[in-house]
């Protein structure tokens, strides 16, 4: 394997690190707001893809926040909305990410992010996490205006890295994203950050791992 593409949200960056700000703003309901927000964000990406109504991931994330607050009967004033959206730009990075990416890079692999996020969101998160020097490319679906799991999205890896698809692996903690990548012909690795069981979509991971740091011995060429 010569290169690896990484999903961003949930895989490198902890989307639930917004929960503490949610809790601060809405005591007792922060956890539920964070959970609903993420679930709705993904649903809107899938629904908009099916509707043929692309709106970038920043917009989708904001719509999902507004919906989630309304559904929980929370009064989301503009300042709180801005603060929560801003927090998406500097999510916590999982502790295995930096050492894992560093070891892969030292092993000679080319590393990229392939995410639903807009280029601006992704660059901000990467900069905030301090992992920019470890990445060769930050690839956003915004270039094809389709969300995962469209095969057009996963095909971006081979074209951006100018490399044969057979030499590229894809890493995600998102169960459905792993199936999308495998279905599109990539070797897929599932970082099982939660206790979820594998999806019944028919295109599971080649390997199930616990952390980015598990990858180097599995991908050395
Ligand atoms: C991403 C979403 C799936 O980063 O979390 O593409």
For the stretch 53-85, pLDDT in tens is 999 999 999 999 999 999 999 999 999 999 999
Residue nearest to atom 5 of ligand 1 (CA): 9
CA atoms within 13 A on the CB side of 38: 17
Pocket test for ligand 1, best of 43, 58, 129, 148 (most atoms within 8 A of CB): 148
- In tens, the pLDDT along 119-132 reads 999 999 999 999 99
pLDDT of 219 over the 90 cut: yes
Euclidean distance between the first and final Cα of the chain, in Å? 5
Instruction: Give the pLDDT confidence score for residue 18 in this predicted structure.
Output: 95
Neighbours of 196 (CB within 10 A): 11
pLDDT of 221 over the 90 cut: no
Mean pLDDT over 189-216 rounds to 97
Nearest Cα to Cα of residue 85 among 117, 44, 131: 117
Residues with CB under 6 A from ligand 1: 7-10, 115-117, 148, 174, 177
Neighbours of 10 (CB within 10 A): 21
Cα(202) to centroid of ligand 1, in Å?
A: 20
Instruction: Give the pLDDT confidence score for residue 162 in this predicted structure.
Output: 96
Mean pLDDT over 186-196 rounds to 96
Residue-averaged pLDDT of the chain: 97
In sign, the C-alpha dihedral spanning 82, 63, 52, 199 is: positive
Q: Does the bond joining 112 to the residue before it have cis omega, within 30 degrees of 0?
A: no
Only one residue has tokens 């809405």, namely 26
pLDDT of 149 over the 70 cut: yes
Cα(149) to centroid of ligand 1, in Å?
A: 10
Distance CA 4, CA 57 (A): 23
Instruction: Give the pLDDT confidence score for residue 32 in this predicted structure.
Output: 97
Pocket test for ligand 1, best of 174, 180, 188 (most atoms within 8 A of CB): 174
Instruction: Give the pLDDT confidence score for residue 220 in this predicted structure.
Output: 78
pLDDT of 143 over the 90 cut: yes
- In tens, the pLDDT along 89-104 reads 999 999 999 999 999 9
pLDDT of 28 over the 70 cut: yes
What's the pTM value of the predicted model, to 2 decimals? 0.96
pLDDT of 11 over the 80 cut: yes
Confidence of residue 165 (pLDDT cuts 50, 70, 90): very high
114 CA closest ligand 1 atom index:
6
Instruction: Give the pLDDT confidence score for residue 99 in this predicted structure.
Output: 98
Mean pLDDT over 155-160 rounds to 98
- Rounded to a whole number of angstroms, the CA Rg of the chain reads 17
Cα(173) to centroid of ligand 1, in Å?
A: 9
Instruction: Give the pLDDT confidence score for residue 43 in this predicted structure.
Output: 98
Cα(210) to centroid of ligand 1, in Å?
A: 18
């Amino acid at each position: 394997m010569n290169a690896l593409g990484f999903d961003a949200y949930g895989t490198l960056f902890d989307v639930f690190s917004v929960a503490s700000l949610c809790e601060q703003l809405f005591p007792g309901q922060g956890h539920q707001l964070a959970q609903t927000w993420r679930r709705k964000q993904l649903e809107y990406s899938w629904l908009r893809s099916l509707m043929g109504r692309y709106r970038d991931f920043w917009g989708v994330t904001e719509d999902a926040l507004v919906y989630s607050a309304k559904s929980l009967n929370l009064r989301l004033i503009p300042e709180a909305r801005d603060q929560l959206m801003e927090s998406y730009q500097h999510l916590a990075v999982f502790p295995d990410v930096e050492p894992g990416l560093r070891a892969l890079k030292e092993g000679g692999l080319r590393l990229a992010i392939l995410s639903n996020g807009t280029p601006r969101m992704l660059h901000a998160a990467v900069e905030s996490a301090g992992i920019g020097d470890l990445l060769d490319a930050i690839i956003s679906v915004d270039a094809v205006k389709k969300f995962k799991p469209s095969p057009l999205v996963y095909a971006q890896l081979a074209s951006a890295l100018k490399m044969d698809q057979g030499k590229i692996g894809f890493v995600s903690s998102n169960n459905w994203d792993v199936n999308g990548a495998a279905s599109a012909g990539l070797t897929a690795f599932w970082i099982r950050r939660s206790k979820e069981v594998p999806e019944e979509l028919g295109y599971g991971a080649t390997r199930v791992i616990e952390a980015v740091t598990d990858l180097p011995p599995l991908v050395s060429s």
